Structure formats: C-alpha cells, structure tokens
C-alpha cells in the first residue's frame, strides 16, 4: 500500500501543527505585560484594560530636589514636565479618575462633578523613620491607611499641595496608588 503523500509533506505537516500548537499555548498562558514600578502614565483604559506607554525622557537634572520626590505622572499632573506626545491633561485626568487615583470634592469631602472643589490625588507617601505626622497633616486631605513598619502613608492629597508636601524633609517620595491589575 502506497502513501498518498510523500514523507516530506507529512513531516512538514507535523512541524506546522507543533508550531501552531506552541503559538496557541504561548498566547493562552502568556502572563501579559507587567506593571512598571516607575509609576508612568497609562493610556486611557477601555473596560478596565490599561496599557502603559513610555513617557518622553526628561532630564532629571532640571528637577529640584522637591520635584524629584514626585512620581512622573504627578509631575505631569501639576505641569512640571510635559505629557507624552498625543496625551492631553484632560486625558491624564480621565485616566486617573478611571483608576480611582483622582477625584474632586467640596469642602465637606462630598464628591463633586469635577468642575468645582478640591482636586485630590490618591498617593503613597514614603517618609523617613519617626517622621512627625503633624507636619504632614496640613498638606494631606485624608489619610486612608498607614504602615509604620515601612514608613508608608496612603492618603488623598490636594493636587495644589503636592509640592508643599514633597518639600518637607521627612517626606522621601510621593507616587500615585496603582489600582490592582488582573492578568488573564
């Protein structure tokens, strides 16, 4: 009984099937993009799925010691450094609202429609050991949580107070709280 296909074709077909299956397995089990630890700005999320592009390089030498304590997205939010090409301040704010990092409240703390009130950003504040929290409280709207073992405070801060807060000697860094991310 003779084969309908020569051995070469069978071998090529088997290799093709193996490669196809490997691609399918890789796509299904791939962990997806990782979240960078430098807190760079995200593109606008669609249905909770965010991608994080790189921002334009900027010379850190041009930043003051106070500004160096702020994350890139916070520097962009307050206008210290430029946004990436194609990104506007409105898009940045919309992204931060979607990530529950930015909100507007009135003097009582009640949410507003974003046109009036205090613009608050949700941040991690890293302090030096034994930092005097009373020095910080004048620049913090609301402390959500704290971890004294790691000198970490999680708080809502008025955007207008970010630079004042960063200028306090016991403050080491301020960066936005990143939302949890599920990788499918």
Higher pLDDT pick, 164 / 117:
164
Instruction: Please check the confidence at residue 103 and state whether its pLDDT lies above 70.
Output: yes
pLDDT, residue 183, reads: 77
Answering whether pTM is above 0.85, one says no
Instruction: Please check the confidence at residue 18 and state whether its pLDDT lies above 80.
Output: yes
Of 54, 28, 27, 51, nearest to 40 (Cα)?
54
Rounded to the nearest 5°, which phi and psi values hold at 146? -150, 150
Rg (CA), the chain: 24
Angle, alpha carbons 64-66-72 (nearest 5°) = 85
Instruction: Please check the confidence at residue 23 and state whether its pLDDT lies above 60.
Output: yes
* Contact status, residue 89 vs residue 83, Cβ threshold 8 Å: yes
**What is the chain's mean pLDDT, rounded?**
78
Rounded to the nearest 5°, which phi and psi values hold at 4? -70, -30
Across the range 80-85, mean pLDDT stands at 85
Using pLDDT thresholds of 50, 70 and 90, give the confidence band for residue 170: very high
Residue with tokens 């708080």: 155
Using pLDDT thresholds of 50, 70 and 90, give the confidence band for residue 74: very high
Percent of the chain with pLDDT over 70: 74
Q: What is the 3-state secondary structure (H, E, C) of 124-172?
A: EEEECCCCCHHHHHCCCCEEEEEEHHHCEEEEEEEHHHHHHHHCCCCEE
Instruction: Please check the confidence at residue 154 and state whether its pLDDT lies above 80.
Output: yes
Q: In whole angstroms, give the CA distance from residue 162 to residue 72.
A: 13
pLDDT, residue 84, reads: 85
Using pLDDT thresholds of 50, 70 and 90, give the confidence band for residue 75: very high
């Amino acid at each position: 009984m003779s084969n309908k296909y020569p051995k070469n074709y069978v071998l090529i077909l088997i290799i093709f099937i193996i490669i196809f299956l490997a691609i399918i397995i890789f796509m299904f089990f791939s962990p997806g993009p990782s979240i960078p630890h430098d807190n760079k700005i995200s593109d606008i999320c669609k249905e909770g799925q965010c991608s994080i592009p790189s921002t334009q390089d900027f010379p850190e030498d041009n930043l003051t010691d106070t500004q160096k304590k702020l994350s890139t997205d916070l520097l962009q939010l307050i206008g210290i450094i430029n946004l990436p090409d194609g990104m506007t301040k409105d898009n940045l704010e919309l992204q931060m609202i979607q990530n529950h990092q930015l909100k507007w409240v009135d003097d009582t703390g009640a949410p507003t429609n974003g046109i009036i009130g205090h613009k608050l950003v949700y941040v991690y504040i890293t302090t030096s050991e034994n930092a005097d929290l009373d020095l910080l409280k004048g620049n913090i709207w609301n402390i959500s949580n704290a971890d004294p073992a790691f000198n970490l405070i999680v708080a809502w801060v008025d955007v207008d107070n970010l630079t004042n807060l960063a200028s306090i000697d016991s403050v080491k860094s301020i960066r936005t709280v990143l939302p949890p991310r599920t990788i499918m």
